[in-house]
A and B are shown apart, each in its own frame.
Chain A
Amino acid sequence: MKLHEYQAKQVFADAGIPTPDSRLASTVDEVMDAVDEIGYPAAIKAQVHVGGRGKAGGIKIATSAEEAREAAESILGMDLKGYTVDRVLVEAGVDFENELYVGITMDRNEGEPVAMVSTEGGVDIESVAEETPEKIAREHIDPAFGLHPYQARKVVFEAGIPNDVAMDVASILGTLYDLYESRDASDIEINPVMITSDREVVAADAVMNIDEDALFRQPELAEMEDEAAGDELEAKANEYGFDYVRLSGNVGIIGNGAGLVMTTLDLVDYYGGSPANFLDIGGGAKAERVTKALDMVFSDENVDSVVFNIFGGITRGDEVAKGINEALEGFDEIPKPVVVRLAGTNAEEGMEILNEDLVQVEGTLEDAVQRAVKNAEEVTQ
């Protein structure tokens, strides 16, 4: 789960990390009130979960009321890479001399967190990592002990941070690790940390992503998740408790188990079709979940055909078949052709239960996918 910049900055500020004076605004008038209080120059920054906001026109600097109004009018309501901007952060501009990068993430190869510091702040850190990896200093952290203060100093000095601010940056890094651990972050970074002309350090941006598997013990952060920001169907999937990812194709896919669902998507592509979604109904799914899954896929207007692929371990084929029948019997006319393939536990019972007036039944994964791709082609023609 991603926090917005304004949310992450609040968390950082509460922990004692210096951040610029700022206000959240959702109308042009609110922006004008905010700049009145903060003064100029002010940065007006779109609050959407999109990288590269600046380049896409989602961040503007205003040096006068006229520019602030123009910026607010152009950013509020704009479409930024598919997301509508409904809130901006109005923030005091910082007169800076240097921009640094500090961040902590999980190094999955080592199975432990790693702290990263660089003098190359203010740009995409992933391209720094690719083009000039020597410019990022790294320090692995033993999760049993946390980040020792000496490690924070070591990585800051290694990165070549100027001496007069090094201890301040090391202190920010220490606080970031405390937040990383206590708030179950998966990534936490400040890019850039600005060094002002008075040699103060300020967090000019804030990224904080939370481990979704840990939200149960981070209730304050869980409340910050705004359902409205994402895709409507993805929000619905969240409500139903499905793992769902929307894609751009027209073959709807429902299955059980992440690996098998991914494989079903890949096969749709392999046989010349285009997958509309990833939908994993999970283990042990009963009839009701099957009905909800079909409802999800049918509500995607891009979907022209559906393939249902279940390999039962704990999931029982007869339960799934009952769910499919129940879901489809509710329609006067089946919205889109549905191909079903059942294997594993109680698959044979399931195949007998399936109403072949409502669905097309196939015996193998390959046959089921090919038939669904063909169905989709027929609809498009």
Chain B
Amino acid sequence: MSIFVDDDTRVVVQGITGGEGKFHTEQMLEYGTNVVAGAVPGKGGQEVAGVPVYDTVDEAVDAEDADASVVFVPPAFAGDAVFEALDTDLDLVVAITEGIPTQDMAKVNKRLSEVDTRLIGPNCPGIITPGEAKLGILPGNIFESGDVGLVSRSGTLTYQVVSNLTERGIGQTTAIGIGGDPIIGTTFVDALEAFEADQDTKAVVMCGEIGGEDEEKAAKFIAENMDTPVAGFIAGRTAPPGKRMGHAGAIVSGSGTGTAESKISALNDAGVPVGDTPNEVADHIEDFL
């Protein structure tokens, strides 16, 4: 079992003819993902890695029966691309693009509340159900099918924690990067809720970072609604206030909200052990299983 994606997911890649879109389409196909179409305005009729390209998402969905999209469109046009996907009645949209203006995302976020589509990202590595499908840029070879769900705001930190798990023979049901922007679609709470409902997920890793209050909300959700054990990690303990630490969302505000201390203590209060190192997170998960 898994959450959100599996080997039945049929994917359209928006921005498939660009450098990243093309490279990662090949990687996704190689992993076994059903990439059934691409969508790029003005490039309809072409093929990329054997995948037919259409001018619009609408055409691609009609012709190839896609139910998910992955967005590799440059930041200036990505908000529009996500709107196009949301208005095409897909089940899932994964936005990889980094650097989408916040006000574009505020409008996307508004539309999101009016449709049934799930958005993952933006500014995220995507989602993978090991052995079945990956939608995004995660390196497939470090994942292994197993019992642990993982949700994270960061890409490479996810890879680090996953490799700590896989090295011990602990595989994953699904791993999701929810993205490092201030406004994102799927949140920690959404992912945790889905992992809690998934029979095969026996434990969950949650990797948070400074900025915002999503980790605090997740802690509350875990305390009130979850039986599945969760182990956590919070990046940014040493970050100074007011500085953007790479991710647009990773910033401790001047008034002191969004600190690592606040997030760690909220998680601890919810009974979630928080590792001091990524390897310690794997220790906690091993204890749970």
Residues of A within 8 A of B (CB): 51, 106, 108-109, 111-113, 126, 129-130, 142-144, 181, 184, 186, 211-214, 216-217, 243, 245, 247, 255-263, 265-270, 275, 278, 280, 283, 311-314, 343-345, 364-366
Contacts and interface: CB of A to CB of B under 8 A. Distances in A.
Contact of A258 (B154, B160, B163): B154
A344 B278 CA distance: 15
Across chains A and B, which 5 residue pairs bring their CB atoms closest together, nearest first? A259-B154, A258-B246, A257-B156, A259-B157, A214-B101
Given A259-B180, A278-B245, A265 B157 contact: no
26 contacts: A113-B106, A130-B255, A143-B110, A184-B101, A184-B102, A211-B102, A212-B244, A214-B102, A245-B244, A257-B156, A258-B246, A258-B250, A259-B152, A259-B153, A259-B155, A260-B159, A263-B160, A263-B233, A278-B243, A311-B156, A311-B160, A313-B155, A344-B163, A345-B141, A364-B279, A366-B279
Contacts of A106: 102, 106, 182-183
B160 A280 contact: no
Contact of B109 (A112, A186, A256, A269): A112
B69 to A, nearest CB: 20
Interface in B96-154: 99-103, 105-107, 109-111, 125, 137-139, 141-142, 152-154
Contacts of B277: 267, 270, 365-366
Interface residues of B, number: 61
Contacts of B76: 216-217
Given A111-B183, A266-B237, A142 B102 contact: no
Contacts of B23: 314
Contact of B254 (A126, A142, A269): A126
Given A51-B254, A257-B154, A258-B246, A311 B159 contact: yes
Interface stretch (B38-46, B55-63, B206-214): B206-214
B240 A245 contact: yes
Nearest to A183: B103
Contacts of B213: 109
B156 A313 contact: yes
Interface of B: 20, 23, 75-76, 99-103, 105-107, 109-111, 125, 137-139, 141-142, 152-160, 163, 180, 182-183, 207, 209-210, 212-213, 233, 235-240, 243-250, 254-255, 260, 276-279
Given A108-B249, A258-B246, A259-B209, A265 B238 contact: yes
A266 to B, nearest CB: 5
Contacts of B260: 266
Given A181-B103, A269-B237, A343-B163, 8 more contacts: A106-B102, A214-B101, A214-B102, A258-B250, A261-B246, A263-B235, A265-B238, A313-B125
Nearest to A266: B237
Given A214-B103, A243-B246, A259 B212 contact: no
A184 B210 CA distance: 24
